[in-house]
Amino acid sequence: MSKGNRIRFSLSFFVFALLWMGGLAIVSAVLLPQHLKDLVGPNASTAIFGVLNAATAIASLISNLLFGNLSDRTRSVFGRRTPWVVGGGLVGGLSLFLIGVLSNAWAIGIMYCICMFGLNMMIAPVIATLSDRVPNDMRATMSAFMSAGTTVGTSMGTLIGARFITIQLPGFIIAGVLMGIAGICTVIVWPTEKSSKDMPPVKGGFGELIASFRPPVKGARDFWLAFVGRTLLIFSYYMILNYQLYILESFIGQSKTSAAATISVMSVITMVVGLVGSIASGAISDFFGRRKLPVIVASVLLIIGYLLPWIMKSPSSMMLFAGFAGLGYAVYGAVDQALNVDVLPSKEEAGKDLGILNIATTLGQMAGPIVTSILVVSGGYNLVFPTAIAFAFIACIFIQMIRSTK
């Protein structure tokens, strides 16, 4: 790969994650929970938010597998991945904006699910590009740029969301625009994908298409270990991240405006440590050719980040969570996608199989808050933090059991 193309791929992965994550974080981390709280009150909003996350988790499971497979099979002058990346951004951006316009919980839930379909229509093909077009000794670095974009996007989105917590519609507009242009900007920045029009056509009819969605079984031990480990680690982080507003207001006792100010500081902390940690970890992982050691470091940092708010129960402890857990999540994200490509059973079905592994991400992001919702209703926030610690510890064990990569 030429130096110019290497730079373009690095920028494109960073820009992609920055834009879609920035748009989603505005809504999921701040505006949606507050929008629900304003509509139905504090008690009902917690339960509804959990139900919405359950519905979107299912939508993400389906869409990630669907679009990863369909992009493998796409034959067009624009390539296999590009049409889905552009189209997914437009669908996701429009639906994300419409969440802020609607005032009915059912309608909001449906639109949120449509947003997940659009989002995963982008994510699955972009991740498959790591296998298609990026050599092995550069994958952790590219994964790190994507992790850095996710980290900065999360912080940027949370900051923007906190700014519009009292006047929400402009925030939803910004969120929709950011996600809407994510796919377009990505395909403009990365080297133009070659046409797939002349690739051998996919044989078989509808029955073969349905059969192609089967998950890998033969030689897939490490694949499934990576899947479970990834799900649990992300699960633990989003148990707290998506409930940070409610934790500050209901567990720590801050007002809406004070919580928004604390979230803003947390976002800056996460952005700084995440940007440095992800890029440095990716380069180090590629240099030494190791993927599992950074996961141990990440798990320790995450566990420390979960422990401090549980013990200290103060706004400053949530800032420490932002520092330790944000760094840990960035270190893991730096090698995440490179590890996933390393454990693929078949390169020919990379889009579909990476789509299955990406289900772990969306499953963790969406299902983690469901568990938080259940725990809060049954026993309060004191149950949330030790549960997150346990999930992070178990996740590290699963990933260390992988044999096909160091």
Q: What is the DSSP string of 284-321?
A: HHHHHT-SHHHHHHHHHHHHHHHHHHHHH-SHHHHHHH
pLDDT of residue 374: 87
Per-residue pLDDT of 302-315, as tens digits, reads 999 999 999 999 99
pLDDT of residue 387: 92
Torsion of CA 67, 84, 369, 17, to 10 degrees: 130
Residue 143 vs residue 233, higher pLDDT: 233
* Pair 266, 244: CB distance under 8 Å: yes
Does 376 score more than 70 pLDDT? yes
Does 138 score more than 90 pLDDT? no
Residues 6+ apart with CB under 8 A from 4: none
Residues 23-34, mean pLDDT to the nearest whole number: 90
The closest alpha carbon to 234, from 371, 55, 65, belongs to: 371
Instruction: Give the Cα separation of 69 and 107 in Å (integer).
Output: 29
Residues 372-385, mean pLDDT to the nearest whole number: 86
Residues 155-174, mean pLDDT to the nearest whole number: 89
Per-residue pLDDT of 346-363, as tens digits, reads 766 666 777 777 777 767
pLDDT band, very low/low/confident/very high, at 369 (cuts 50, 70, 90)? confident
In 10 A of CB 337, how many CB atoms?
Answer: 27
pLDDT of residue 86: 96
Per-residue pLDDT of 276-302, as tens digits, reads 888 787 777 777 777 788 888 889 999
pLDDT of residue 97: 96
pLDDT band, very low/low/confident/very high, at 131 (cuts 50, 70, 90)? confident
Q: 97-111, 126-140, 343-357: which has the highest mean pLDDT? A: 97-111
Instruction: Give the Cα separation of 161 and 34 in Å (integer).
Output: 10
In 10 A of CB 209, how many CB atoms?
Answer: 13
| Number of continuous H segments (helices) and E segments (strands) in the chain | 15, 0
pTM of the model: 0.75
pLDDT of residue 347: 66
Paired tokens of 285: 């992982």
* Pair 385, 321: CB distance under 8 Å: no
Residue 94, domain member (yes or no)? yes
- Match 């974080």 to its residue by tokens: 25
Residues 6+ apart with CB under 8 A from 73: 80, 202, 209, 212
pLDDT of residue 217: 75
Residue 166, domain member (yes or no)? yes
Residues 375-397, mean pLDDT to the nearest whole number: 89
Domains held by the chain: number: 1
Per-residue pLDDT of 194-248, as tens digits, reads 888 777 776 655 566 676 667 777 778 888 888 888 889 988 998 898 788 888 9
- The rounded mean pLDDT for the chain is 85
Q: How far out from the chain centre does Cα 219 lie?
A: 27
What separation in angstroms does the CA of 397 have from each of 238, 282, 296? 19, 21, 9
What separation in angstroms does the CA of 323 have from each of 266, 267, 364, 399? 8, 9, 21, 23
Does 162 score more than 80 pLDDT? yes
Residues 387-404, mean pLDDT to the nearest whole number: 89
Instruction: Give the Cα separation of 214 and 263 in Å (integer).
Output: 42
In 10 A of CB 177, how many CB atoms?
Answer: 16
Q: How many CA atoms lie within 13 A of 211 on its CB side?
A: 7
Residue 19 vs residue 39, higher pLDDT: 19
Helix (H) or strand (E) holding 93: helix 82-101
Does 4 score more than 80 pLDDT? yes
* Pair 93, 118: CB distance under 8 Å: yes
pLDDT of residue 28: 87
Residue 201, domain member (yes or no)? no
Residue 359 vs residue 83, higher pLDDT: 83
Instruction: Give the Cα separation of 237 and 214 in Å (integer).
Output: 29
Residue 370, domain member (yes or no)? yes
Residue 202, domain member (yes or no)? no
pLDDT of residue 204: 57
Range of the domain at 323: 3-193+207-400
User: Percent of the chain, pLDDT > 70?
Assistant: 95
Sign of CA pseudo-dihedral 245, 249, 252, 257? positive
Question: Is 138 buried (19+), middle (13-18) or exposed (0-12) by CB count in 10 A?
Answer: middle
Instruction: Give the Cα separation of 88 and 20 in Å (integer).
Output: 11
Residue 198, domain member (yes or no)? no
Residues 6+ apart with CB under 8 A from 385: 240, 306, 307, 309, 310
Residue 200, domain member (yes or no)? no
Q: What is the CATH number of the domain that holds 184?
A: 1.20.1250.20
Residue 405, domain member (yes or no)? no
Instruction: Give the Cα separation of 406 and 402 in Å (integer).
Output: 8
Per-residue pLDDT of 382-392, as tens digits, reads 899 999 999 99
Task: Name the E strands within 129-210.
Answer: none
In 10 A of CB 126, how many CB atoms?
Answer: 27
